[in-house]
Amino acid sequence: MNNPLQIASNFVVMNSDLNAEPMAVTDNFYEELGTKYGDFAGHTLISCHSFDGDWPTWECHPNGDELVILLGGEVEMWLAQDNGDESVRLSAPGEFVIVPRGTWHTAKVHGAAQMLFVTPGEATENLEQPPGREA
């Protein structure tokens, strides 16, 4: 019988065949992820992160939608749109937003928050500002 794992210390990698593999979170987790899975093609990362401040960057996932679920706290997700940014406030546990494929996004954290992510990680980009904006 399997023992339960904790999502804060064991993220899960799901491959294109929908097989799930837990991976212990270490200080070198993302390097280990790259070593083991290369460019992450066909894989999805299920992870949990705690935040006590705003995200320092914007990110974009060009190969699929990202599911972001609030577990605790309050967060304002900002999605860059051609006609201006859209804000989605998550303020109750279980509320979520689906970030469309290729949409630059960031989060403004109100206090402290914990969030669960289902992320198509292949070719993920991070920038201080979305493209086409002044710094």
Residues 65-95 have pLDDT tens digits of 999 999 999 999 999 987 888 999 999 999 9
3 assigned to some structural domain: no
For tokens 């210390």, what's the residue? 9
Is residue 9 very low, low, confident or very high in pLDDT (cuts 50, 70, 90)?
Answer: very high
113 assigned to some structural domain: yes
Residue 40 vs residue 101, higher pLDDT: 101
2 assigned to some structural domain: no
81 assigned to some structural domain: yes
133 assigned to some structural domain: no
User: Which has the closest alpha carbon to 10: 94, 1, 20, 87?
Assistant: 20
111 assigned to some structural domain: yes
How many structural domains are present in the chain?
1
| Structural contact between residues 46 and 73, judged by C-beta atoms closer than 8 angstroms | no
Note the pLDDT of residue 134: 59
Range of the domain at 29: 10-127
Q: How far, in Å, are 15, 17, 58, 95 from residue 129 at the CA level?
A: 30, 35, 6, 26
Tokens of 16: 């294109």
Q: Which CATH number covers residue 16? A: 2.60.120.10
Note the pLDDT of residue 119: 96
